[in-house]
């Protein structure tokens, strides 16, 4: 398998970071039909983790806070619910990031899974404290799908940076 640290990447364009995050927000807002399942992952969370891993100077904890608030408004959930979960996830991501960058995409996905699960747990904990509601267990399938999606997503996101480099060589 191609290891992520072996490929040299061109610097990312700032607009691309913004574009991908807004696209993630858009995908989160799509009218998904949940038939009792929560299969759609939180694209914004996965993208924030990705950019935080590869562009730590650009996308840091503050971005998690800002996009968390946007998600709270879009989701009509409590103010700060997504924000707190994203902030905690991104902090742990920074702690893990030095190790994660050395791994292949699938090993990274194994690291991403507990982070996403923790985010879901934080959110359900907040809702339990705030108004005594618990989601069904299927709520926790979304982080699993998010982690499974990670390798494909990283590959797609690095495509513009990688292709330019290869054509140059």
Partner 1 sequence: MFANSYYPLRWTVDKETQPAFFGRRQSPLSKLLWFGATSLILLFTDSRFRYLETIRDNVSVALYPLQQAAMLPGKWMGSTQEFLTEQATLKQENQQLRLDRLRVTARLQEADELAAENTALRKMLTLSLSYPERGQVSEMLYAGRDPFTRKIIIDKGKSNNLTEGSPVLDAAGLVGQVTRVHQLMAEVTLITDKGFPVPVEITRTHQRTVVYGTGQDGWLEVRYLALNSDIKPGDTLATSGIDGTYPAGLIVARVERVERAGGQPFARIWCKPIGGVDRSRHYLVLGKPAELPEYPASALPAEKPKKSVKAKKHAP
Residues binding partner 1 (CB under 8 A): 11, 22, 25-36, 38, 40, 56-57, 60-62, 64-65, 68-70, 73-81, 83-84, 87-88, 91, 94-95, 124, 126-127, 130-131, 133-136, 139
To partner 1, the closest distance from the beta carbon of 51 in angstroms equals: 14
At how many degrees (to 10) do helices 105-131 and 43-54 cross? 130
Residue 11 DSSP SS3: coil
To partner 1, the closest distance from the beta carbon of 132 in angstroms equals: 9
To partner 1, the closest distance from the beta carbon of 81 in angstroms equals: 7
To partner 1, the closest distance from the beta carbon of 29 in angstroms equals: 4
DSSP secondary structure letter of residue 101: T
To partner 1, the closest distance from the beta carbon of 75 in angstroms equals: 5
Please say which residue, 65 or 103, places its beta carbon nearer to partner 1: 65
Please say which residue, 43 or 105, places its beta carbon nearer to partner 1: 43
Rounded-to-integer distance, Cα 23 and Cα 35, Å: 24
**How far, in Å, are 54, 75, 137, 155 from residue 58 at the CA level?**
9, 26, 35, 20
DSSP string, 22-63: HHHHHHHHS----SS---S--HHHHHHHHHHHH-TTTS-HHH
Helix, strand, coil: what percent of the chain each, to 5? 75, 0, 25
């Amino acid at each position: 398998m191609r290891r992520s640290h072996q490929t040299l990447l061109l610097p990312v364009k700032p607009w691309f970071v913004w574009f991908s995050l807004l696209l993630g927000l858009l995908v989160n807002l799509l009218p998904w039909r949940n038939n009792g399942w929560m299969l759609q992952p939180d694209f914004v969370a996965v993208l924030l983790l990705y950019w935080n891993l590869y562009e730590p100077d650009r996308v840091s904890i503050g971005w998690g806070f800002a996009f968390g608030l946007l998600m709270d408004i879009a989701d009509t959930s409590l103010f700060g619910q997504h924000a707190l979960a994203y902030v905690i996830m991104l902090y742990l991501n920074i702690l893990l990031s030095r190790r994660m960058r050395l791994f292949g995409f699938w090993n990274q996905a194994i690291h991403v899974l507990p982070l996403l699960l923790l985010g879901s747990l934080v959110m359900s904990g907040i809702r339990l404290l705030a108004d005594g509601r618990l989601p069904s267990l299927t709520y926790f399938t979304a982080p699993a799908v998010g982690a499974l999606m990670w390798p494909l997503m990283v590959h797609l996101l690095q495509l513009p940076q990688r292709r330019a480099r290869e054509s140059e060589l």
